Structure 1
Amino acid sequence: MEEHAEQLAITHNENQGWTIEKLGKPYDPRCTRGAEERHIEVKGTMGAATSVELTINEVLHAWDKGNTVDLYVVSDIPVDTHTEPYTASGGTVSHYTDWEPAEEDLRPRKYEYRLPETTA
């Protein structure tokens, strides 16, 4: 499903004249057009697009003023579970240009707990 969502974002940018380079973490594709550079973060879901899960690195990367980041969310992706591997198609694309997640829109979902040293 994530690969399907990423391909939709890549196709959208290629159609606008961007050259795409797939790099992986902390963001998905990097797009260049002349001297312009944008980093793309892509999220895909079979459900509605009410929220997405982000890693701390994705948030920090988007907050870095040296980066221009676009967020693509592909929601309502139908998945055919009768094929091996499963096949994703379609979906609704939401594109957030110059994306910087606002602190008030972020909620902690899990914490890492550092264990105290044991004496036994």
Structure 2
Amino acid sequence: MSDPKKRKAIEEHAEELATIHYEAQGWTIEKLGKPYDLRCTRGAEERHVEVKGTTGAANSVELTINEVLHARDKENTVDLYVVSDIRVDTVTDPDPYTASGGTVSHYPDWEPAEEDLRPRKYEYRLPDLTG
């Protein structure tokens, strides 16, 4: 999505729904953003939550390499919380967009399997032409 304000409204709405979900289960929430979105603690338990929001269907989500590596690290307990079909309305000041609704897909103890990942981008290191 090219409009950063619209993307931010969608992300914040998805995080708000995730926060409500975990708080209802007795978790204390800390919003981080990186390397994951929410740190949830309940007593001695700690859970990291990666939150994704989209206006489309929940067929796939984009992940960074760091999100994948963090979820695969056996030291971490990670959940994936996806809110799809979010409605975005155009409004006026102070924010140009308001996000609402959505369908939740919750994946506790998430570890992305290799067969479920597809490369979408590559970084190409340019050869040194000075030598």
TM-score, reference length from structure 2: 0.89
Structure 1 residue runs of 4+, over 3 Å off? none
- Given the alignment, which residue of 10, 18, 23 partners 1:14? 23
1:104 aligns with 2:115: yes
For residues 1-120 of structure 1, the aligned pairs below 5 Å read 1-83=10-92, 84-119=95-130
**CA distance in structure 1 between the aligned counterparts of 2:40 and 2:116, rounded to whole angstroms:** 26
**CA distance in structure 1 between the aligned counterparts of 2:79 and 2:26, rounded to whole angstroms:** 16
User: Aligned residue for 2:7?
Assistant: none
Give the 3-state SS of the residue equivalent to 1:6 in structure 2. Answer: helix
**CA distance in structure 1 between the aligned counterparts of 2:31 and 2:81, rounded to whole angstroms:** 15
**CA distance in structure 2 between the aligned counterparts of 1:12 and 1:56, rounded to whole angstroms:** 26
Write the letter of the residue equivalent to 1:62: A
- The more displaced of 74-83 and 32-41 is 74-83
Cα-Cα RMSD:
1.0
Q: CA deviation at 1:13?
A: 0.1
Q: CA deviation at 1:119?
A: 2.6
- The more displaced of 22-31 and 59-68 is 22-31
**Superposed CA offset, 1:74-101 (max 9, x none):** 0000000244420000100110000000
Consecutive unaligned residues in structure 1, runs of 5 or more: none
**CA distance in structure 2 between the aligned counterparts of 1:33 and 1:82, rounded to whole angstroms:** 38
Write the letter of the residue equivalent to 1:65: K
Consecutive unaligned residues in structure 2, runs of 5 or more: 1-9
**CA distance in structure 2 between the aligned counterparts of 1:57 and 1:119, rounded to whole angstroms:** 33
TM-score, reference length from structure 1: 0.97
**Superposed CA offset, 1:38-70 (max 9, x none):** 000000000000000000000000000000000
Percent identity between matched residues is 84
